[in-house]
Amino acid sequence: MRFTIRAGAVGVLFLVGTCLGYGGFEVTGSFVGVKELNQTLTALNQEWNGSGPFAHTSPLLWLGGHGGAQVGVVTFGGSGAITASASHADSLGSELAALRGSFEAGYPYAPTEWFWVRPCVDVGLAGWLIYVHSVESGILVGSSQPNFSRWFSAWTLGAAPGVEVMGRLSSSRESFIGLFAKAGYFIPVAGPEWSGDIPPPKFSLSGFTLQVGLRFGKTPYRAFRI
């Protein structure tokens, strides 16, 4: 019994000593394909007697935050982010908004205390909405057509393997501030599943991602390191 209690206490101390908590803010560039999306929206603009093209651009810029912890030799955490994009042709306008959340696991390699390289993988869910509408009503003289309005929404489940590098800008015995950059590639494994008007545009969040951010962390107590 005493051995069990002592072993449990040592285990708790080990976790306290090796658990490094962190969190922060990030900006992500998502290099998605928008060519077919613009073609679909341009065709809708022509349907509403317009002639100009749509020009949604890539990368999409996501604003988000993350948090996690290192337990032993691995890290676990999660993140969330939002993005929005708008483009207008001569007769129609369109807005795209998206939201994502993911779980992450990684394996950091730290040759020094102020720097690490971390292979990791994110698994998460993302959803987006595309709204297309007439810029102004009655664009044709004497027209009795109602305002143009179409909407398309979808979700997808995917994985994003990647590699992160982080350097500490400042550090103390109990905390640190770090700057990180992470490159990955989002691969859909389910979806996109569409709803709304038909036919939906050919659009997906798959593609290369580049992320940079600021991180605040708690340094583990050195006394319990093994």
Cis peptide before 59 (omega within 30 of 0): yes
**What are the tens digits of pLDDT across the range 169-197?**
987 878 899 999 999 999 999 989 999 99
Q: How many CB atoms lie within 10 A of CB 26?
A: 19
Say which DSSP state 142 is in. Answer: T
Q: From CA 146, how far away is CA 8, in angstroms rounded?
A: 71
Lowest mean pLDDT among 130-134, 145-149, 175-179, 196-200: 145-149
Lowest mean pLDDT among 12-16, 143-147, 221-225: 12-16
Residues in the chain, total: 226
Compare 118 and 142 and report the one with higher pLDDT: 118
Q: At the top level of CATH, which class does the domain 2-224 belong to? A: mainly beta
The pLDDT, as a whole number, for residue 128 is 98
Give the three-class secondary structure for 143: coil
Left (φ > 0), alpha (ψ -120 to 50) or beta: where does 155 sit? beta
Q: From CA 197, how far away is CA 150, in angstroms rounded?
A: 6
**What are the tens digits of pLDDT across the range 77-102?**
999 999 999 999 989 999 999 999 99
Instruction: Decide: residue 226, CB within 10 A, 0-12 exposed, 13-18 middle, 19+ buried.
Output: exposed
Find the DSSP H helices in the chain. Answer: 2-18, 35-47
